[in-house]
Chain A
Amino acid sequence: MPLIQIHDLTRRYVMGTETVHALRGVSLSIERGEYIAIMGPSGSGKSTLMNLLGCLDSPSSGYYELNGVNVAHMDDNELAEIRNREIGFVFQSFNLLPRSDSLHNVELPLIYAGIPSDERREQAVEALTNVGLADRMHHKPNELSGGQRQRVAVARALVNNPSIVLADEPTGNLDSRTGEEILGLFETLSRRGNTIIVVTHEEEVAQHARRIIRIRDGLIAADEVNPNPRAAMKFAAALSAPASS
């Protein structure tokens, strides 16, 4: 059974008297362990698709099954629970809590999941160690470099063992070398079996994925396998500790 099954998904926004059709009927199926890039220029609907995939938003119509559960008609609180359990977000602007240190930022999903404090501390430490930040646990975001911040964000995305890691322009705010580092991290995660969806408008970033979905005008324009994905492994090896799970 596929991890994600989407059928004829649409999303309309009403803006004043106008209705904007951001997605006009998208059907898609994603298997567990895939590494996918969703591409498209701005205004194509790729952000809308990402918001729907990430359960941040509900579709106007259509069917969305995530890990065997139909989430298309869930309410706010149910979606929050699904996000907490199934999805790890990595954002372009990192979106860490500025006043909390790395450890607390990574712990946050576990707090909302109701995990007891010693257990969640342990898991958060492990997640930070896995992204090579064992020595930065008590640093606040403004004491970290951009790449380190994004690695904290990746650790936070992974700490709950989600079904999907959903990354929205994850390298957009990083220089190319640090961007490569993050992409290398994704590669490692993908090798370990994590499902990764990267939303980007950069061809170079998309080329790292093994499947590329192109969106244009609210529809899927192309959905193809990337025959030879670019490797960023030379950084990845240095970054991650041996897999623990």
Chain B
Amino acid sequence: MTLVSEFKESVLIAWAALRANKLRAGLTTLGIVIGIVSVTLMGTAITGLNAAFKKSLAGISADTLFIQRFSWMTGETEWRMSRNRRELTLQNAKDVARLATLVSAVSVESQGGGTVSVGRKQARGVWVEGNDEHSLMVRGLSLSAGRWLTESDIQAGRPVCVLGSYLAERFFPYGGVIGSKVKLNDMNLEVVGVMEKQGSFFTGFNLDNQIVIPITRFTRDFARFPDFTIMAKVRDLSQMADAKEELRGIMRKLRRVPPDRDDDFAINQQDALVNFFNAVGGTIAAVGLFISGLSLFVGGIGIMNIMFVSVAERTKEIGIRKAIGAKRRTILIQFLVEAATITLGAGILGLVIAWPLTLVVDRFLAAEMPLWLVGIALVVSVLTGVVSGFLPAWRAARMNPVDALRAE
């Protein structure tokens, strides 16, 4: 007997058997349906989470090197040793931009916190950024309206600013933001641009609660001796290490560090953060899938149980089939197909239920149900059927025809 016709016959038998026991099959299916729904939802949530991770990581630019006074990884002793380091200067940034060959753009920035007000409306604890004309590109930002700071804004230290979307909406809910005046602490500024919405960072930090002013203005009226960060966007991600080495050489030369002395600056990068995020994301995914997988497991036990019942009930049928010439394999396939049919049906039903739920989840957390997840869900449901149906099917296949025929 060929496998194909064996399989076809098995599908027909499975179908007839399920139709004869609709309620029972339906109830058994429920466990798998719940399992598939929870696994699928967990899958969509994880995909959504990963997408959010990626977006956040793009926001903090993985391909950027940060030249700063201190390393992000310093312990306390190193901190004491390095706290007397000289500040970086705006001139440093210009020189780096001129000398570095492996980077596509260099910008300089400094940060602080301030209060922004328009008329009587006030926003405290706003993230204040001193940027230059290259920061838009280096920081990977985009604008929803207006323009970014220009070279002449920077050179002249003009009183202009670019607002984060949160501030723009808060102060100018009815539009008309470009050209309006805002106050940062005591500084009067004209809004020239609005940034596109970036959303919240994982910590809940609102990236859109931000105001950007020319770095020159920043040093003059906002923070007298700021800590600058020189940001260098590397041309090619694979040359990250070379670029870092090049920048290090340039900075040592610029700051005249003697060859026998350690760097008096640090070049930071997001690797650590990226790795951290990946690790956290991986853990969340593993734990989540494990927990939702448990429900699928419970469903699988239900299938196994019902298949044992089905085999016991149909002992006589198994005997007849064996007497007529069914081999072990034939009977095995018959019951495996039956179990897999139940779980596949459950899987499809689960997906049908999970899909609208995904749309609901999507309102709170970016969630999507990609096609590969649908495929995996179906494969998993069939596998669950095959795995949990195996023991009962094996028992059926090994039955002695004489005993099986005697059963009532």
B327 within 8 A of A: yes
Stretch from A64-72, A109-117, A176-184, A204-212 that touches the partner: A109-117
B227 within 8 A of A: no
Stretch from B146-154, B174-182, B287-295, B316-324 that touches the partner: B316-324
A99 within 8 A of B: yes
Tell me the number of A-to-B contacts counted with CB atoms below 8 Å: 68
| B324 and A99 form a contact (CB under 8 A) | no
| B401 and A56 form a contact (CB under 8 A) | yes
| A111 and B5 form a contact (CB under 8 A) | yes
Interface residues of A in 41-65 (CB under 8 A from B): 51, 54, 56-57
From B5, B17, B317, B405, give the contact of A114 (CB < 8 A): B5
From A76, A95, A114, A117, give the contact of B1 (CB < 8 A): A114
- Residues of chain A contacted by B17 (CB below 8 angstroms): 99
| B324 and A156 form a contact (CB under 8 A) | yes
Contact A91:B324 (CB < 8 A) given known A97-B317, A111-B9, A114-B2: no
A150 within 8 A of B: no
| A77 and B327 form a contact (CB under 8 A) | yes
The contact string, 1 if C-beta is below 8 Å from chain B, for chain A 74-89, is: 0011001101110001
By secondary structure, the B interface counts as helix
Q: In the complex, A112 Cα to B327 Cα: how many Å?
A: 8
| B9 and A57 form a contact (CB under 8 A) | no
- Residues of chain B contacted by A114 (CB below 8 angstroms): 1-2, 5
From B20, B323, B326, B327, give the contact of A56 (CB < 8 A): B323
| B20 and A99 form a contact (CB under 8 A) | yes
B16 within 8 A of A: yes
A26 within 8 A of B: no
| A84 and B5 form a contact (CB under 8 A) | no
Q: Which has the most chain B C-beta neighbours within 10 Å: A51, A81, A97?
A: A97
| A111 and B1 form a contact (CB under 8 A) | yes
Nearest A residue to B1, CB-CB: A114
Q: In the complex, A111 Cα to B5 Cα: how many Å?
A: 7
From A77, A95, A100, give the contact of B323 (CB < 8 A): A95
Q: In the complex, A80 Cα to B331 Cα: how many Å?
A: 12
Q: How many whole Å from A92's CB to the nearest CB in chain B?
A: 10
B402 within 8 A of A: yes
Q: How many whole Å from B307's CB to the nearest CB in chain A?
A: 18
Nearest A residue to B2, CB-CB: A114
B330 within 8 A of A: yes
| B321 and A108 form a contact (CB under 8 A) | yes
The contact string, 1 if C-beta is below 8 Å from chain A, for chain B 290-316, is: 000000000000000000000000001
B328 within 8 A of A: yes
Nearest B residue to A157, CB-CB: B324
| A97 and B320 form a contact (CB under 8 A) | yes
| A113 and B402 form a contact (CB under 8 A) | no
Contact A113:B20 (CB < 8 A) given known A77-B327, A84-B324, A97-B317: no
Q: In the complex, A56 Cα to B402 Cα: how many Å?
A: 6
- Residues of chain B contacted by A112 (CB below 8 angstroms): 1, 321, 324-327, 330
- Residues of chain B contacted by A100 (CB below 8 angstroms): 16
Q: In the complex, A116 Cα to B5 Cα: how many Å?
A: 8
| B322 and A80 form a contact (CB under 8 A) | yes
- Residues of chain B contacted by A89 (CB below 8 angstroms): 323-324
Interface residues of B in 1-37 (CB under 8 A from A): 1-2, 5, 9, 16-17, 20
| B327 and A83 form a contact (CB under 8 A) | no
| A83 and B5 form a contact (CB under 8 A) | no
Q: In the complex, A79 Cα to B106 Cα: how many Å?
A: 82
| B323 and A54 form a contact (CB under 8 A) | yes
- Residues of chain A contacted by B325 (CB below 8 angstroms): 80-81, 83-85, 109, 112-113
Q: In the complex, A156 Cα to B320 Cα: how many Å?
A: 12
Q: In the complex, A76 Cα to B320 Cα: how many Å?
A: 15
Q: List 20 contacting pairs A-B, 8 Å CB cutoff, sorted by A.
A: A51-B402, A54-B323, A57-B400, A76-B327, A76-B398, A77-B327, A77-B329, A81-B327, A83-B322, A84-B325, A85-B325, A89-B324, A95-B319, A95-B320, A99-B16, A99-B20, A111-B5, A112-B330, A114-B5, A117-B5
The list of the 4 closest CB pairs from A to B, nearest first, reads A84-B325, A112-B325, A114-B1, A80-B327
Interface residues of A (CB under 8 A from B): 51, 54, 56-57, 76-77, 80-81, 83-85, 89, 91, 95-97, 99-100, 108-109, 111-114, 116-117, 156
